[in-house]
Structure 1
Amino acid sequence: MTASADHVKALVRAHAEGDEDAFYSVALQLAAKSARQGHNRLAAELRDLVDEARAQPIRRYEPTPVVQPRGELADLVAASFPDIRLADMTLARHVREQLRRVLHEQRQRERLENHGFAPIYRLLLVGPPGTGKSMSAAMLAQELSLPLFTVRLDGLISRFMGQTAAKLRLVFDAAAKSRAVYLFDEFDAIGAERRVEGDVGEARRILNSFLLFLDEARPESLVVAATNHAGILDNALFRRFDAVITYDVPSAEQAIEVLRRRLGSMNINEVDWDGLANQVGGLSHAELVRAAEAAAKDAILAGGNQLSSAALRAALDARRATRNG
């Protein structure tokens, strides 16, 4: 038997927590250990099993339909049940580890609360547009089998000027009663520094109300705020959140992974990925996905499914030119 007690415990723990990445990682560790001990056939079989499992479409149970918000709440939030999983996302290591920690604490919520501790439930996600902040909120909802309620704060303020604080109270009251992930998108709409010149009394009242509601929030739900402009946020906000996760544009290695994931249904055998590494700098996850989709659709509409390095490079350049223009 090549599996150590620690490996067996790690496999059981990963399965219990629904952490697919960790499960496969431990299985590959076992394969490596088997190879070192001379059990080459077992090592090869383990690696093949992991590769086959990863290649299989994920079996999903049909989610319970999301109960749509009613009454005044229906005007404030959009409800959905996302299907994005952590394993589907290309993220920097520190971001992935922080998100895993959130999932782990939420899955062990009852155990923590029995000892007088609350899991991480107030998150601030900061970083440039298109780097995976909103997708992370969707992933948390899916992994925890919760609905996602999205609050677009810029629209909320413009639509309910003079009533925004009262409307925010409705959302936080709902969060206390209905367990879900509540995403406050475009958070800088209310979170901007209170001393910014030209700030008005209404904006200060909204921010102060949000801070109060956040302090009073209970861990029944996850409150996730996302912003593209961390630099203009009021300093008082950062210490109110249990965790602040910082996103950035992907590295060249991560960018190539994003492209390869999106082009999984295409023939990419002829693509020189090493040569493309210099073409992806500065593009966000979303921009990379758009470039991949544009190149793929051009190939399909031309009657094939094979991509060349030149076609993908042209799509990347076009996406960069669109952004700069």
Structure 2
Amino acid sequence: MAASDQIKSLIKSFGEDNEIRFFSTALQIAATEAKQGHTTFAQELKKLIDVAKKDRSVNAIHSKALPLNLPKRELQELIEVFQPKINLSDMVLDENIKNTLYKVIKEQEKWQILKAHNLEPKRKLLLTGAPGTGKTMTAQAIAGELGITVFIIRLDGLMSKYLGESIAKLRLIFDAMNDQRAVYLFDEFDSIGSHRNQNQDIGEIKRVLNSFLINIEKDQSNSIIIAATNLPESLDKALFRRFDEIIEYPLPDENHIIEIIKKQTKAFSFSTKIDYKALSKLALGLNYSEIVRICNDTIKEMILNDLDKLELATLKKLLKLRNVVNEK
């Protein structure tokens, strides 16, 4: 029979709609049963998992094609729609960042009370930091906390070679903010938010930036506007005062690395005792996404090799390899 903590993890994953952890735990149970000689049951379980995965993939395709909150037809080429499944508690964040975000969420939850006192809730955020530090995930988590949709603005669809068309498209997006309350994420914002006096700037980009400055200044909607960039130093200085909060995302320190590893591997156990402090030093310099990916790859290795427990040596090897790649 499956271990009690595996069963608990399976149920918890189902309740949280965490598909990756659910299937990983189910495969681990199958591997355990196979090792105990219950090969027929193990094979049946693996077949059920494969069928379930295929069904989920088909459902995911239909879900993406027909999202619950479709934007207007003319906006569909500009916006990707996501129904978030995460909250801030799913993220590992610096305490100051977490407190700032929870305050934003609290103000959003009580926006009607604040407006009754002629006060505006914070809802325009600029997120800066290296790739993989959690900026995009933050937009999804805020939407998850508030139970609203995430609209990711496709900046490649926004820009047009025809004079004035990009500005008209941007106006459509800001109009949508009034029509439908959601989180609107302008990712890689530096592509339109660069200094207006840069020599390499294209005229249309300058006009789009000027239009964005005007629109965000005038915007009185109840939507949350988030701009994310890896290059804050390239942004036009006039942008900064348009945002209610400017949040800088650092790379994880040793304590955060330990928290990430524990969170990602909590459904499993290791074959040997772990010195988390020593392990965290191997991951210094890596971003959150890289550490999560390495933990998932370690879990995959366990499953593919029909092991009952995670191998510390595998995790260490992958961390070292990632750092070597980053140094090149």
TM over 0.5: same fold?
yes
When residues 118 and 269 of structure 1 are mapped into structure 2, their CA distance, relative to the original with a 3 A threshold, is: farther
2:229 equivalent among 214, 227, 230: 227
2:264 equivalent among 251, 262, 265: 262
Two-structure CA RMSD over aligned residues (Å): 2.3
- Give the drift of 1:57: 5.7
Paired residue for 1:217? Answer: 219
2:293 equivalent among 290, 293, 300: 290
Report the TM-score when normalising by structure 1: 0.78
In the aligned structure 2, how far is the partner of 1:113 from the partner of 1:93? 28
1:123–1:223 Cα contact (<8 Å) kept? yes
When residues 58 and 140 of structure 1 are mapped into structure 2, their CA distance, relative to the original with a 3 A threshold, is: farther
Mapping of 1:173-212 within 5 angstroms? 173-212=175-214
1:319 and 2:326 are equivalent in the alignment: no
Mapping of 1:100-139 within 5 angstroms? 100-139=102-141
Q: How high is the sequence identity, in percent, across the aligned residues?
A: 39
In the aligned structure 1, how far is the partner of 2:284 from the partner of 2:326? 13
Q: 1 or 2 for the larger relative contact order (CA 8 Å, sep ≥6)?
A: 2
Look up the equivalent residue of 2:297 and give its one-letter code.
A
In the aligned structure 1, how far is the partner of 2:85 from the partner of 2:216? 27
Look up the equivalent residue of 2:213 and give its one-letter code.
L
1:119–1:219 Cα contact (<8 Å) kept? no
Say which SS state the counterpart of residue 75 (structure 1) adopts. coil
Deviations 1:36-59 (A, max 9, x none): xxxxxxxxxxxxxxxx9xx95695
Mapping of 1:86-97 within 5 angstroms? 86-97=88-99
1:182–1:221 Cα contact (<8 Å) kept? yes
When residues 58 and 235 of structure 1 are mapped into structure 2, their CA distance, relative to the original with a 3 A threshold, is: farther
Give 4+ residue runs of structure 1 displaced > 6 Å after superposition. Answer: 158-161
Paired residue for 1:272? Answer: 275
Paired residue for 2:56? Answer: none
When residues 155 and 72 of structure 1 are mapped into structure 2, their CA distance, relative to the original with a 3 A threshold, is: closer
When residues 66 and 160 of structure 1 are mapped into structure 2, their CA distance, relative to the original with a 3 A threshold, is: farther
1:154–1:189 Cα contact (<8 Å) kept? no
In the aligned structure 1, how far is the partner of 2:253 from the partner of 2:117? 40
Q: Which moved more, 1:110-119 or 1:300-309?
A: 300-309
- Give the drift of 1:152: 2.5
- Give the drift of 1:160: 7.3
Paired residue for 1:149? Answer: 151
In the aligned structure 1, how far is the partner of 2:86 from the partner of 2:163? 34
In the aligned structure 1, how far is the partner of 2:173 from the partner of 2:127? 19
1:167 and 2:169 are equivalent in the alignment: yes
Q: Gapped runs of 5+ residues in structure 2?
A: 1-7, 18-66
In the aligned structure 2, how far is the partner of 1:301 from the partner of 1:161? 55
Mapping of 1:74-93 within 5 angstroms? 74-93=76-95
Q: Gapped runs of 5+ residues in structure 1?
A: 1-51
In the aligned structure 1, how far is the partner of 2:314 from the partner of 2:163? 48
Deviations 1:46-95 (A, max 9, x none): xxxxxx9xx9569579xxx6221231111110111111111111000111
In the aligned structure 2, how far is the partner of 1:93 from the partner of 1:211? 31
Say which SS state the counterpart of residue 68 (structure 2) adopts. coil
In the aligned structure 2, how far is the partner of 1:252 from the partner of 1:59? 30
- Give the drift of 1:238: 0.5
In the aligned structure 1, how far is the partner of 2:216 from the partner of 2:111? 19
In the aligned structure 1, how far is the partner of 2:161 from the partner of 2:177? 21
In the aligned structure 2, how far is the partner of 1:203 from the partner of 1:222? 23
2:68 equivalent among 66, 69, 94: 66
Look up the equivalent residue of 2:203 and give its one-letter code.
G
Deviations 1:293-320 (A, max 9, x none): 1112112111114223321111112222
Say which SS state the counterpart of residue 170 (structure 2) adopts. helix
- Give the drift of 1:274: 2.0
2:271–2:312 Cα contact (<8 Å) kept? no
Q: Which moved more, 1:158-167 or 1:119-128?
A: 158-167
